[in-house]
Amino acid sequence: MKIKKLSIALLVITAAFFIILSDQASSYSMAKSPENFSESGGYKKIDLRLREAWKTSMKDGDGNRTLQCIMKTRSRISDSEQKQLKSSGYKFRTIIGRIITGTLKAKDLPTVANLDFVIAMELSTPMSLKGGGKEKVKSRKTK
């Protein structure tokens, strides 16, 4: 009787393990094809500016164009999720809690946006390209 229960428990654990592995594998391979990206859940996660930059890059045949992005994740990302992002083509710049800045190639956007833990993505511009603090501030004269 104990052997039968042990075999059933082992079978259930093995099945659960394979389900978890297949779920992780599907998130790696999800939406590799740009043709059906606009119909995927990941497409709804990206803002209008990032959509347009992606569409323009793909239309121009420049899937290697670098896009600056900021993303929000479901929670603080784990080491395995960082590895998923990196292997999907995302290059980290900064991670602050649930907010991540970095770059990716336009062709990699479908894969990254369709990861389960990514909630939203926006096209961004690094602060260093926004003037770098060299603007002159006009002072107001007080009477």
The C-alpha angle 17, 20, 25, rounded to 5 degrees, equals 125
Q: Which residues contact 31 (CB under 8 A, 6 or more apart)?
A: 37, 40, 42, 110, 111, 113, 114
Higher pLDDT, 119 or 136: 119
Kindly list the domain boundaries of the chain, sorted by start residue: 31-126
Contact 44, 100 (CB under 8 A): no
Q: What are the pLDDT digits (tens) for 55-68?
A: 999 999 999 999 99
Main-chain phi, psi angles of 50, to 5 degrees: -70, -35
β-bridge partners, 104:
67
Can you give the pLDDT at residue 38?
A: 85
* pLDDT bracket for residue 27 (50, 70, 90): very low
70: nearest Cα among 97, 95, 101, 48: 101
Can you give the pLDDT at residue 11?
A: 54
Q: What are the pLDDT digits (tens) for 28-57?
A: 444 444 568 888 899 999 999 999 999 999
Q: What are the pLDDT digits (tens) for 86-135?
A: 999 999 999 999 999 999 999 999 999 999 999 999 999 867 666 655 55
Can you give the pLDDT at residue 56?
A: 95
CATH number of 31-126: 3.30.70
